[in-house]
Structure 1
Amino acid sequence: MTMIEIHADMREQRCGLVDLIKKRADVNVLDVALPIGDFSVGGGIIIERKTAKDFLGSIIDGRFHEQVLKMKLNYSKPVVILESDIYSTRSKFSLQALGGALAWMAAQGVNIIPAPGIEATAEIIYFMAKNAQVEMKDVPMRSKKPPVTEYNARFVLEGLPAVGPAQAQRLLEHFGSVQGVFTATAEELSMVSRIGKATAERMHQVISWKLG
């Protein structure tokens, strides 16, 4: 019997999902601290599981976009399992807002899989792992790093204080590269459109910070 290996983030232990997956005789579930996603099953697949309540909450607090972009940056096949019906909650979200969120995920190349409950989620994760590791003979738990692109460069810059997508784009256009931004002085950073002196100083402090 070929054993299937699934890496599960330790936070998933609380809901009982991991215990359901472990009932399979041909599965070895490793409880780890995944930096991205909830389950890594091989073949470049990373899975983020969201209940309807968590999905709506992640949109409100801003986690949603960041999680999706990190999955897309680090894995070739990001998947979001939406558990339970996002349209049947008592949320004040409009149909347009929910539809827009789903459409944005699809546009990012994220596979969206609906699941009526935790048992169905366990089955989906199991068969995704089996397909990746047995049927497709593809065992690696993490995909090869994607080629360096402008998207990657903007993603790095958005880690700086007060830098969002628009500011990252302006920084790249002004300095031409991430290296150019990182070697700039605070005064040079403040010359970029809509980057004030206080923000430039904070950015420079982060860039030049040293341990100890």
Structure 2
Amino acid sequence: MDEPIGASQMLFVDSRETRSLIPAMLKQAGVPFDMVEMPAGDYRLGPYLIERKTVNDLAASIFDGRLFEQAEAVCNSADRPMLLIEGDLASGQSQIQDESLYGAISSLTVFWGLQIIFMPSAAASARFLGRLHKHMTEGLGYEVATRVAKPKVAPDGAAAQYLVCGLPGVGPELARKLLTHFGSANGVFQASELDLRSCKGVGPSTARKIVEALEHRPTSFRSTKTAPDWR
């Protein structure tokens, strides 16, 4: 389960990352972290486990078949698995064909449920990790409207779609598919993980997160009092 926003969070960095400049950049920026030997991933912060790959690393791991093994290990080790791709994808096109490169990235998203983050450089990756740590420890600072204005109950199903869109990993299109498949928002909310996976467009990761969200008993809520510092 996700750890509450605002709880004490420590960033853990895999000891092999000393070969990159990121740990030094994090230290310079005042981001607290511990160097540890991690069985999977390169950075862990609360529920997030991040596998970092430069474009060259990505191409090499596609060639030798390690990519999907690493993806499976990361997905099995965290609630919020992420892949951070660092550098310009165009620079890797001399090593691997576009079809293989973009096909691998698409597969990781669709079939493994990995969240893909693109960063142009090690410095940008360090800034992203620092910001992630800040948001996890301090919260966003204000409430972001993630859905359209709350509709009135109407025959067109807008209210039901609004409710279902509040589930993790569910956008307007997938909400329509879920409502068509189960008949109502109540049907979606009462569906088991196996039932959810029977709906086209719902993968194992999304089904699991929906059930976890519906069954989770929150003990804290995000603060909405102050504006965020985006600097």
Question: Which amino acid letter does the alignment assign opposite residue 59 of structure 2?
Answer: L
Residue in 1 that maps onto 2:27: 22
Return the TM-score normalized by structure 1.
0.59
- The 5 Å alignment of 1:2-17 reads 5-17=10-22
**Cα offset, 1:115, TM superposition:** 0.8
Question: Which amino acid letter does the alignment assign opposite residue 65 of structure 2?
Answer: G
**Cα offset, 1:6, TM superposition:** 0.9
Distance 1:90 1:69 in 2: 25
Instruction: Select which of 105, 117, 121 maps to 1:113.
Output: 117
* SS in structure 1 at match of 2:89: coil
Cα pair 1:3 1:28 within 8 Å, conserved: no
- Segments ≥4 residues shifted beyond 3 Å: none
Residue in 1 that maps onto 2:79: 76
Distance 2:9 2:19 in 1: 22
Residue in 1 that maps onto 2:143: none
Residue 41 (structure 1) aligned with residue 41 (structure 2): no
Q: Deviations over 1:179-204 (max 9, x none)?
A: xxxxxxxxxxxxxxxxxxxxxxxxxx
Distance 2:119 2:128 in 1: 8
**Gaps in structure 1 of 5+ consecutive residues:** 137-148, 151-212
Cα pair 1:39 1:48 within 8 Å, conserved: yes
* SS in structure 2 at match of 1:113: strand
Question: Which amino acid letter does the alignment assign opposite residue 74 of structure 1?
Answer: S
Cα pair 1:83 1:121 within 8 Å, conserved: yes
Distance 2:92 2:98 in 1: 12
**Cα offset, 1:88, TM superposition:** 1.9
Instruction: Select which of 81, 94, 98 maps to 1:95.
Output: 98
Instruction: Select which of 127, 131, 134 maps to 1:127.
Output: 131
**Gaps in structure 2 of 5+ consecutive residues:** 1-6, 141-192, 195-231
Distance 2:131 2:17 in 1: 18
Cα pair 1:7 1:29 within 8 Å, conserved: yes
**Cα offset, 1:3, TM superposition:** 7.2
Root-mean-square deviation over aligned CA pairs: 2.2
When the two structures are aligned, how many residues end up with a matched partner?
135
Instruction: Select which of 42, 61, 67 maps to 2:70.
Output: 67
Return the TM-score normalized by structure 2.
0.54
**Cα offset, 1:83, TM superposition:** 0.6
**Cα offset, 1:103, TM superposition:** 0.5
**Cα offset, 1:130, TM superposition:** 2.2
Distance 1:3 1:119 in 2: 25
